Amino acid sequence: MLDKYSIKVIKWPLNTLAVWPDKLGITANQVTISGFLIGLLALPALAWQQYEWALACILLNRIFDGLDGAIARRQGITDCGGFLDITLDFLFYSLVPFGFVLANPEANAVAGAFLIFSFIGTGSSFLSFAIMASKRNIESPVYKQKSLYYLGGLTEGTETIACFVLCCLLPQHFALIAWVFGSLCWFTTGTRILAGYQTLKQE
């Protein structure tokens, strides 16, 4: 819901920052992988309840995720880069709830599993529509700079990161946050299925 606004806010800083790695010959894919490796460090940090370090890893991962796209637009967007980016993004998204489960299995296991379950809904509806849109040459009217059709919803990337930040700041309330956000994710999944079906049916 908020991605179309947040993209406008971060576009200029990321494009400015992308000049330097581009000049140094650093590729977008290298930044994607580096960001994912940084994001992986959030898992042990969460498991050991080092929430400040986990938050730092999460935020750095997201900065690298935006930066790789800015670099790709300078060097040329590729299908392999888009594939790598979206695959590692979804792995990272599931990693964070799992870290909270490891931190406190008794309190967080069911809520964490529900949140990961809800990510399966948002992720599968997002990617399956992107595949069909690509086959039919349907372009996104909002996210034209993306390498694949970006089907929006109530819970997008901005809201997901806000959820992770809130969980790190209030880890004792992870279960409640996970139940609420997971429910919102299922609303997103439902609206995406409906909108995607109607769009493809018309096409």
Query: 21-79, pLDDT tens digit by residue?
Result: 989 999 999 999 999 999 999 999 999 999 999 999 999 999 999 999 999 999 998 88
Top-tier CATH class for 3-202? mainly alpha
Q: Catalytic residues, which ones?
A: 89
User: Which tokens go with 105?
Assistant: 């299995």
How open is the CA angle 2-68-50, to the nearest 5 degrees?
75
Query: 82-120, pLDDT tens digit by residue?
Result: 899 999 999 999 999 999 999 999 999 999 999 999 999
3-state secondary structure 50-93: CHHHHHHHHHHHHHHHHHHHHHHHHHCCCHHHHHHHHHHHHHHH
The answer to whether 196 and 130 have CB atoms below 8 angstroms apart is no
User: Does residue 148 register a pLDDT over 80?
Assistant: no
Grade residue 131 by pLDDT with cuts at 50, 70 and 90: confident
* Cα–Cα dist 176/171, whole Å: 10
If 0-12 CB within 10 Å is exposed, 13-18 middle and 19+ buried, where does residue 188 land? Answer: buried
